[in-house]
Structure 1
Amino acid sequence: MTAITTYDLPRETPSAGWLVAAGQIYRRWAVNNVREAWGIGVGLLQPVVWILLFGQVFKSVGSIPGFGSGSYITFLAPGILMMTVLYSGVWAGTSYIEDIDNGVMNQTLTAPISRSAVVAGQLGVQLTLGLVQSGLVLVIGYLGGARYPGGVTGVLLALAAATLLAIIFCAGSVAIALTTRSQIALIGLSQMIILPATFLSSGMMAPNLMPGWVQTISKYNPVSWAVDIGRSALAGNTDWPFTSEHLGYLAALAALSFWWAVSAFRGYQRTQ
């Protein structure tokens, strides 16, 4: 008998670096968003409607004794800024639900890339859209009469607070989506989160004019932290101890929320 010689060739597992993987995921979601231009249009139009609508409807609030601000639109602009990233962020998980329903998620799970890169790539697209919306809010607010004595430094601090707030709610939405795997559950939970987060904050009303129990809740509300940072920074009277401390709190919550999203992703993978 003739012996047949076989050779075991080394197998290479294809892999991509974290930044490359995150970049490709970012590109994929960015292309999807561009293809659905109506969604981007609505997302950009929403803050314009809010700042003009709330600014006109509640304009007389600025004249209430003890309000502490001569212009309600100047007071309101930072609140609308944070509301915009909040409302955009809580819907971030809907894209994952669509991927699960369409079978795309299972294909993603076969890719030899870091799960944190997958979350970070999609999160990057959400943050990009959020920054565009934030800039639009500030511009529309200025055209509507708001003024920002804090200058460039104030604007950058407000955007930093808005970005951290966006990470918290975007990553949290992703975690909820991957845990519940239900569009209905995600929508219901999102509504239960964003309404109290909005109206139990200092976004639209001066804290000293709120009921006592609302003031207490507002002090521990991350939305209020972001609003107060942005408001003082844009006004040019930044309270640096408060700003540094609460930016740290927002950063910690953002890191915790991101970790939750990655853990939910791995939990989803284990059940497939």
Structure 2
Amino acid sequence: MLVRHGESLGNVAASAATLSGAEVIDVPARDADIDLSRIGHEQAAALGSSFTKLPPSERPDIVWCSPYARARRTAEIIVAAAGWTVPVLADERLRDRELGILDMLTAEGVELRLPEEAHRRRWLGKFYYRPPGGESWTDVALRLRSFRSDVEQLSRGERVLVVSHDAVILLFRYLLDGLSEQGLLDIAATTTILNASLTRYVRAEGLGPWTLESFNVADHLMEHGVTLTEHGSDADVHPR
């Protein structure tokens, strides 16, 4: 089970900056330390409460999360609300994509302050573009391949919940579905991974290929009367 963290203070700041036409996102801390918004807390609690309906045979044996505060806090709230006693393990391979020189800049800010990088990003597309000091999506995919390998070494039938970030969840789709660059970018251009949404993969008998059972589901938020939030990155992802 793959979960995007609840709405973060960074999500709120980025959306506000984009709407106002600002060049810089006024974030309250470094990316790794940005916590959940009030709505983000409510979203995580709603997801955890929905998990109380799971029969014991479907509950996770392990919860892994990105070490970034917004993901770690989401995982802790989920586990508490669900009443689980499973361990929550942080793994740096699940962290968000590092933006390097583009960190804290809006798309408008990149265009105005770093026009050469803006051109290079458009030329290469989101899959291969690596900002100076940052990561491309292929870099993130490499660390996720390592994480996937560890998961697949678990005992047959063990269930795993992963709390991470939108780019990470999209790249899990790339890996587990065997997508091409084009296939992945087509999804990224048309789909925003919702805050506190749930994506589920299964393997028959715990072996063989993974099968996508559900993607980007957030019905649990509406059922609990919690605000649904869409904070996506730039949809201009294809090379041109």
Is TM > 0.5 for Structure 1 vs Structure 2?
Answer: no
Q: Which has the higher helix share?
A: 1
TM-score (norm 2): 0.30
TM-score (norm 1): 0.28
Looking at CA atoms only, which structure, 1 or 2, has the larger radius of gyration?
A: 1
Q: Which has the higher strand share?
A: 2
